[in-house]
Amino acid sequence: TSSLLRSPKGFPKLKNDTFLRAARGEETEHTPVWCMRQAGRYLPEFRETRASQDFFATCRSPKLCCELTLQPLRRFPLDAAIIFSDILVVPQALGMEVVMVPGKGPTFTEPLKEVEDLLKLREKVDVTAELGYVFQAITLTRHSLEGKVPLIGFSGAPWTLMSYMIEGGGSTTMAKAKSWLYRHPEASHRLLRLLADVIIDYLVGQVAAGAQALQLFESHAGHLGPELFQDFALPYIRDIAQTVKSKLKEEALPLVPMIIFAKDAHYALRDLAHAGYEVIGLDWTIRPQEARAQIGKHVTLQGNLDPCALYAPKEKIGELVKKMLESFGTQHYIANLGHGLYPDMNPEHVGAFVEAVHAHSRHINKH
């Protein structure tokens, strides 16, 4: 279709840049807000659009990804959109097969068991060939947003992707993946390096396609302690920020703000504050004042309402939001949940959350 051939140039003028200003540490009239997994199963229209399609087939359809990304923005005055995709498209680009099993979630048909299995992975990945469908989705969505709000691109971080590739799916302990870190440190670093290189090209490609900010998801950071995180996660998280930025400069692409979300990694906040990201995402298990004290004033914080707070009555959601804004302060801050929305949540409660952030932050800023 002709709409897919629109170039990543001549994008509509951005009307609401509050999210980008907050990410860069500039002053904002209200605190911007978006939700992880805002394009999700809690929306009946999402379930309808997804109903007939295989999950990863949906990910490979730029038109469907665009539609799913826009759905929450038709309902709520969110300050950012995040492209609909999945972190596991990166292992797929490396040649691994992942299927979405109903009731179980993403499942690798042949997870990595032995070090020799690394030989099955593609050594050189042409991200445009393997993940061009994500780039097309970003370009199409950026045009379709008509400048309403900025579009966020994302990727999983190396350790989180490695853990999925070895576990073959979700896990409560990550024992198989962690055993590699202890038993095969060299091979683990080889795999993490391979992943980091693909992620770097993937993120740069997303900016070239039109992404205006990038989030790196280290969703399984909580399974690592300080030492393992220091050895096997942090160096790659740092390198991704640095290399993406230097490649964006080289290619004369916009230097977009980058967000690191390392779930349950409060033990690493000081290190993450110096890892080269403009924004640090926080889960709900840390007090805002403690996070601010560890991270300092120069990095913008994002988070961290407990997603389950959205099960509360609407008035209660408003109170919790007010408290959160008073704790974080309304500046150098992007409101969000401490993790993604759950499928059984009431869309009206999501709306109450978004509106409360805008109303209370405006009020606090005025007074």
Reduced to 3 states (helix: H, G, I; strand: E, B; else coil), residue 322 is helix
Asked if 303 and 47 touch (Cβ cutoff 8 Å), the reply is: no
Give the torsion through C-alpha atoms of 247, 147, 66, 76, to 10 deg: 120
Which amino acid, one-letter code, is at 293? A
Helix or strand (DSSP H, E) at 135: helix 127-144
Which amino acid, one-letter code, is at 169? G
Quick one: which of 105, 218, 235 has its CA closest to 167?
105
Residues acting as catalytic residues: 37, 41, 50, 86, 164
Does the N-terminal peptide bond of residue 16 adopt cis geometry, omega within 30 degrees of 0? no
Treating both helix axes as pointing N-terminal to C-terminal, what angle do 175-183 and 158-167 enclose, rounded to 10 degrees? 110
What the block records as the tokens of 57 is 């087939």
Quick one: which of 345, 288, 295 has its CA closest to 320?
288
Asked if 141 and 81 touch (Cβ cutoff 8 Å), the reply is: yes
Quick one: which of 354, 342, 356, 355 has its CA closest to 311?
342
Q: Please tell me the distance from the alpha carbon of residue 310 to that of residue 316, in angstroms, as a whole number.
A: 9
What the block records as the tokens of 45 is 């229209």
What the block records as the tokens of 188 is 């683990």
Q: Give the N- to C-terminal CA distance of the chain in Å, as an integer.
A: 51
